[in-house]
Amino acid sequence: MEKIIRVAIYARVSTDEQAEHGYSIDAQLDTLRNYCALYNKPIIGEYVDRGVSGKSTKGRYELQRLLKDAEDGLFDEVIVWKINRMARKNIDLLQIVDLLDKNNIAFRSFSENFETETPMGRFALQMMGAVGELERNTIVDNVKMGHKQRAKTGSHNGKVPLGYRVVKGSADGRGRNTEVVIVEDEAMLVRKIFELYASGKGLKYIANALNRDGYTTKTKGPFSTCSIRDLLDNPMFIGKIRYNQYENWSEKRRKGKSANPILVDGLHSAIIDQNLWDKVRLLRQKKSSMPKKRFEGEYLLTGIIRCPECGAAMTASRTVNKMKDGSKVTRMYYSCSSFRSKGSSVCHANSIRKVEAEQTVMNRVQNVLIKPQLLKAIVKGVNERKIGRIKPLEKELSGVKVRIAKLEENKRKYLSLYEMDQIDRDLFSERLDGINGDLDDELTRKSRLELELRGDEAEPVSYELVRSLMERFDGLLRESPFEQRKTLLHLIVKKITLDDKRMVKDVELSFNSETEKHFLSAAPSADNIAEGAFPLSGKAPQLSGRFTLIL
């Protein structure tokens, strides 16, 4: 008897592709449904990501749901209209297909007409994936080339800094030009920042002064030392256009600094005169050559301990006090990062001694191990919160489904009116675009909620499992060197909160299958641990989901 092949359909369209012929969700689904009907392949599920780019797997809730269902063995084959619907990057595509292959699931592309069940099919996948990535990179390069050409002619690309805004200019044969003009109220603030720095004031002083006086950044947030620095280093304020300072910013960030940035005279007016700019540049260069502050000591909790006043991460700080006998004593603390970068008008230091904070965290972990009743109460609370969290999510999901049904009904009504010539074509198109946009938003929300509920519907976590994980976590904290302890803390400690007396209030731990697998389970060569491996022997109970403990 011929085996019945269960199929999962995956479709995706980005916001930019919505209007392109042949890229609509409905067209993709109709084509793939007809294919499955022709070959008598039952469709187990349809996974649709609407308005989502394929350049990464983040935010693609339906893809994540598909991969989870693949691991549960719900289907035998995944089919897409084109390879680039699954992923734009070859590395993402290969990782997805590798996961499917490990679960004995074939991957098939309708348009490219191949499957991954054969060596030639897998080879074709790699080649087509590479071609798809080349196509995307070529488009990106063409766009960059256009931006570079605009920059070379003195035109600005993208957002403008404080002091400027973009307005529509006159129309030409290819579209509408834009013009960068000065916003005088903001320009006065920019001049004030440059003048303060030129007078010898530091970045933190300027940020604090502006925040105290109620000024905000272009995005209506408080000023920080970083935002002040970026303003002072932006040559746009002297009428220049700088472009390509960083390459591939979305992935490399500041590590992608370009060796040949473009710097030309712009078409816009300057806000800062050349003399003031030169003076600030001289001060900036002088201060950049000064030695940076260096803090002695190993700070375990930077980034995960939170300010009790504003919630920002706390960073390393220290004070050096002179004693009566002339000796100096260094005291180390964790202090609010917002205070350190934005000043006292945004927050305060709220410092906590380093030794006290770290010792309290270690004691909290050990305390629940020597008091089984305390740990049992915490586990009971976790399971009760899990149940309590599910109900609101289910209620929200129910509301989303009602809105989806209503939008689909409205869509059918407008289609009926259009077919009966009872509505103007332009009005019909406008209304339909609005409904489709709202429908895409609600369907994306539905996918996210279903994915969240799936994670929370796991079996109640057992006391034995939690105790085993906590024992291993505690053992590693006591036995590992500093770098490994810090890595482990940042992986498992979600956040540490302080009370209004600047004492540790809660230590929130988050365990999941990845941390358990890679850090809290026995290493493959536990008897002969390689340098750098976490020193752990034995085997912990298997963890299937994720759960949070508050100590």
Q: What is the rounded CA–CA span in Å between residue 112 and residue 134? A: 16
Here the tokens at position 347 are: 């927050």
Report the interhelical angle of 184-198 vs 225-232 (nearest 10°).
Answer: 100
Q: What is the rounded CA–CA span in Å between residue 316 and residue 326? A: 26
Report the interhelical angle of 225-232 vs 203-212 (nearest 10°).
Answer: 110
Q: How many residues does the chain have?
A: 551
Parallel/antiparallel/unpaired status of strands 77-80 and 106-109: parallel
Parallel/antiparallel/unpaired status of strands 305-306 and 262-265: unpaired
Q: What is the rounded CA–CA span in Å between residue 166 and residue 186? A: 14
N- to C-terminal Cα distance for the chain?
Answer: 58
Contacts of 550 (CB under 8 A, 6+ apart): 378, 381, 506, 507, 508, 509
Give, for 317, the enclosing helix (H) or strand (E).
strand 314-322
Give, for 120, the enclosing helix (H) or strand (E).
helix 119-152
Cα 452 from chain centroid (whole Å):
17
**181 with 189: CB under 8 angstroms?**
no
Tell me the catalytic residues: 14
Give, for 13, the enclosing helix (H) or strand (E).
strand 7-13
User: What are the two backbone dihedrals, phi and then psi, of residue 380, each rounded to the nearest 5 degrees?
Assistant: -60, -40
Q: What is the rounded CA–CA span in Å between residue 201 and residue 454? A: 54
Contacts of 207 (CB under 8 A, 6+ apart): 222, 223, 224, 225, 227, 228, 341, 342, 343
Here the tokens at position 60 are: 């693609």
